[in-house]
Amino acid sequence: MILVTGATGNVGGALLGQLCSSGVPVRALVRSSERGDILRGYDCEIAVGAYEDPASLHTALHDVERVFLVAPAGEGMADLEIAALQAIRAGRPDARVVLLAAEGVDAPGERGGRVLAEHRRVVRHLRDSGLPGTVLAPGSFMQNLLRQAGSVQEHDVLALPAGTAAVNHVDVRDVAAVAAHVLTSDGHDGATYTVTGPEALTYEQVAASLAEVLGREVRYVDAPPQDARAALVGGGLSPWLADALLELHEAYRSGHGATVTDEVEKATGRPARPLRQFLTEHAAAFR
């Protein structure tokens, strides 16, 4: 049995669908029965629980051999995931953990700001726990570009504080495919896999590709950080997470984010989805 946490999120949701379609026994952890209703069409068990509730995790971990672990990005993320690791170690000490982190989590130094700092805390705890574990470190999600849909719709502008940085973008479905491979095969304990798309592109190139898909001009604007922060907070992100994203873009501007790997192809036998394919599939959101 595989326990998928974050089952209604981007990567967790994609992973749940892929595992269910493959006939793998899977249990989805959700925070409420209402969230569980979203998953009623999946061929999976549903467990209601929370990282901060050890008793609920103990129930969810019954007969579980492997766990996909992710918490919502935000302040306190590391505390939640560490609490989950403690519950796993107490209840299922032989369970393999596949932890979703972020690109650069294993790089020397402290670059990347608060998000990578949170991820590094969890990775250290996992490695020290004695649990068999694997870390997935994806690049920037293609799905994050959908936050720019309103700006593109109204102003034909892609506005991000990334300068001329080249950034790899990866589809969450490909991250999920790598997770599914690691969860259902052996030989991955102790590994960290950096999961990226097939190319690193500047946001000017992203805008040009989006313009071709939409059939109209789309410009990239290197937004001042204070303007980008205001837009993120105005769009509903917490100030903590908005500042965290600005720190990530600052890291991109320094050249961290251009790495391209073939982990998707090694796991699935096919190349990672290119950004142009993602933009074509989601053109309606930008129109």
- Asked if residues 194 and 263 have their Cβ atoms less than 8 Å apart, the reply is yes
pLDDT of amino acid 181: 97
Tell me the sheet residues that pair with 138: 195
Confidence at 212, pLDDT banded by 50, 70, 90: very high
Separation CA 287–CA 285 (nearest Å): 6
CB 275 within 8 A of CB 169: yes
Q: What share of the chain in percent tops pLDDT 70?
A: 98
User: Does residue 68 or residue 21 have the better pLDDT?
Assistant: 68
Q: Is the pLDDT of residue 283 over 90?
A: yes
> Is residue 110 predicted with pLDDT exceeding 80?
no
Model pTM score: 0.93
pLDDT at 216 over 80: yes
Q: Give mean pLDDT, residues 224-239.
A: 88
Cβ distance 129 to 87 under 8 Å?
A: no
Under 8 Å between Cβ of 255 and 165: yes
Would you put residue 241 in left (φ > 0), alpha (ψ -120 to 50) or beta? alpha
Each domain of the chain, given as residue ranges in start order, spans 2-138+171-195+259-272
User: What's the pLDDT score for residue 180?
Assistant: 97
Q: What is the mean pLDDT of the chain?
A: 92
Asked if pLDDT for residue 107 goes beyond 90, the answer is no
**pLDDT interval class at 191 (50, 70, 90):** very high
Mean pLDDT for the stretch of residues 20-44: 84
- Which of the 8 DSSP states describes residue 184? T
pLDDT, tens only, 234-250 = 888 899 989 988 998 88
Pick the CATH number of 2-138+171-195+259-272 from 3.40.50.720, 3.30.1330.10, 3.40.50.300, 3.20.19.10: 3.40.50.720
Give the up-direction half-sphere exposure of residue 203: CA atoms within 13 A in the CB hemisphere.
22
pLDDT per position as a tens digit, 89-105 = 998 999 999 999 999 88
